[in-house]
Amino acid sequence: MTEPKDIVLKESEEVEGLPIEGPWLDEVSSLEEVLDYYERIGFQATHLGRAIEIWKKVEEKRAKGEEVRVFLGYTSNIISSGLRELVAWLVKEGKVDVIVTTAGGVEEDFIKALKPFILGDWGVNDALMREKGINRIGNIFVPNDRYIEFEKYMIPFFERILEMEREAGKPMTASEFIHEMGRYMDEKLGKEKEKSVIYWAYRRNVPIFCPAITDGSIGDMLYFFKEERGDRELIIDIANDIVKLNNLAVTAKETASIILGGSLPKHAIINANLFRGGTDYAIYITTAIPWDGSLSGAPPNEGVSWGKIRAKADYVEIWADATLVFPLLVWKVMKG
């Protein structure tokens, strides 16, 4: 019979690895030094430390002239928040090669160049907010006059696109449509455009793919435009964009997939990478859980089973709100 003491104090094997340790504040003097400890803190902090390591490796390869094509995917709430400016900076500085987002990720970027969103509160009377014409995205308020102003720009823009399609004799793809939005911003807007993702993507020739481009205010404006004019000519082509997106993965020597949130952008990126045998580097930041079988919650190793992430890829998933960790990740990789 095994003695209770032998059960409780069972002998263990030696384990090699990093000791768990956080910053001793008397010994650090900067955010960079604090972030150096993240890999050793444990839990999700260690995952953030791993993400820093992976992205730095990608940046080091790119600095040497090696091709690692960076795909960035994000849902619209990323642009609703103050992460919009970080994304725009990454595009401006040439750190991103391909973007996939939702309709909100496109239109809210344009709208913010017209009027800002306002910090509000989570605990409000939403029926009263509706009466006042104030929309809510979590604790971010978006008064309806933003969409009214957006329509003033979009209706003439649609007329321009329709004329361009007539001249070309074919419809424009969604990525071409968004590229033209960047050109339109460059012509029509002043200094406020300079923190826009769309504007810098246009300037740097970074394609923005949006397979569900009608699923938002752009779709609303298209409805108004087409119904009021009885138009059936203006078409946005998503079929040819899937060829372009997939080929951007297929033709790359290596790829890195950085994905904030889940949904359509996440799957569009990793599915494009399926055609090349999987992405080589992957960083997921999400609050979605895997237990419902959703793609949004699927961890990177599940992507390995589909061939969308290489079995020997460097990957990590940070289970956290992107607004908390993405600024730290970008800062440490790009400035730290």
Residues carrying an active site annotation: 308
**What dihedral do alpha carbons 80, 86, 89, 95 form, nearest 10°?**
-120
Joined together, the tokens standing for residue 287 give 């609050």
Joined together, the tokens standing for residue 215 give 């699923």
Nearest alpha carbon to residue 56 among 42, 45, 68: 68
CA 123 to chain centre: 27
Give how far Cα 38 sits from Cα of 51, 198, 220, 320, 326, Å: 10, 33, 44, 14, 14
Only one residue has tokens 């032998």, namely: 6
φ, ψ of residue 208 in degrees (nearest 5): -115, 115
Determine the 3-state secondary structure of 282 from DSSP: strand
Nearest alpha carbon to residue 58 among 49, 47, 69: 69
The two beta strands, 309-319 and 172-173, are unpaired
Report, in angstroms and rounded to the nearest whole number, the Rg of the chain calculated over CA atoms. 23
Instruction: Read off the amino acid at residue 250.
Output: V
Angle at 80 between CA 147 and CA 103, to 5 degrees: 65
Joined together, the tokens standing for residue 141 give 């308020």
φ, ψ of residue 142 in degrees (nearest 5): -130, 90
Contact of 11 with 29, CB cutoff 8 Å = no
